[in-house]
Amino acid sequence: MISFSCISPCKLNLFLYITGRRPDGYHDLQTLFCLLDYGDMMHFSVNDDKEINLLTDFGFPKEDNLIYKAAKMLKEYTKSTKGCSIAIDKILPQGGGLGGGSSNAATTLLVLNKLWNTNLSEDELAAIGKQLGADVPVFVRGKSAFAEGVGEKLSPLELPKRYYLVHTPNCHVSTKAVFGDPKLKRDSKKRSLNELLNQPFNNDFTPTVRKNYYEVGQALDRLVKYGPAFMSGSGSSCFVSFNEKADAVKALEDFDPQEGKSFIASSVNLSPVLTALNEFLN
């Protein structure tokens, strides 16, 4: 039996602008994805019984879980006769804007593609991932990237190494509800990446989320004493960056664990999944 474990990393949206609403009801975005060296630990083992076993209980049917869906779609697409068991040490919050579920799905596609020897290309895996969610392709490709469209048009780029203090307050932000808010800003000017990188960053979701979730406003107001503070995705996680890890560790002391989940992580330009797979295969 082949077994493999790796971190399924989270992401931050360093900026996020909504440039319009599409005829299909989705929204066009411009956002900068930054991958972190922090996330859920996933454990895979391959077997020959053809079954996909999700060993971790999420409290809802496995058929509704993105991990199971990703494995099943890969199996059906490739007609693989192999099976697997998957377990996860879940530490990323749901509804936090960190892309945990999307990352778990992408990690499943990347790992099983290797362990099952199905040998799909990155483009094929990203196409499968897109059917599972708009954020899945960036985790499949495994690189920090500038994204447009609904998030599927990706341009990889190298970001300078920074340390991020991330705080997720004790509230769950509904992405659907935020997108449905009539006062949500949807008309940001579409700009080039160079323009966006050379102006102060912003997140168009922030005013709407602050209005409806006071805990997010509290988090941003506490973080801003250390530098520009932002919300990731549609919330609720908020973050601030540091040049030195020691400064981030010191700032972490300001956050009471009872008020939410906080952690410190470093930005990475290559996903820990790809790094681990390269080491495993070599």
Q: Which of 82, 135, 143, 204 is catalytic?
A: 135
* DSSP SS3 for 171: coil
- Is the backbone peptide bond immediately before 192 cis, with ω within 30 degrees of 0? no
Cα separation of 222 and 67, whole Å? Answer: 35
Q: Name which of 236, 231, 204, 154 is nearest 21 in CA terms.
A: 204
Q: Which of 11, 62, 82, 114 is catalytic?
A: 11
Cα separation of 100 and 263, whole Å? Answer: 14
Cα separation of 74 and 68, whole Å? Answer: 10
DSSP code at position 126 = H
Cα separation of 260 and 103, whole Å? Answer: 21
Continuous segment of H or E residues that includes residue 179: helix 175-180
- Sign of the alpha-carbon torsion through 216, 221, 223, 224: positive
- Please confirm, yes or no, whether 62 is among the known catalytic residues: no
- Please confirm, yes or no, whether 28 is among the known catalytic residues: no
Cα separation of 41 and 115, whole Å? Answer: 17
Residue 198 burial by Cβ neighbours in a 10 Å radius (0-12, 13-18, 19+): exposed
Tokens of residue 120, six digits: 């799909």
* Residues annotated as catalytic (active site), given as ranges: 11, 135
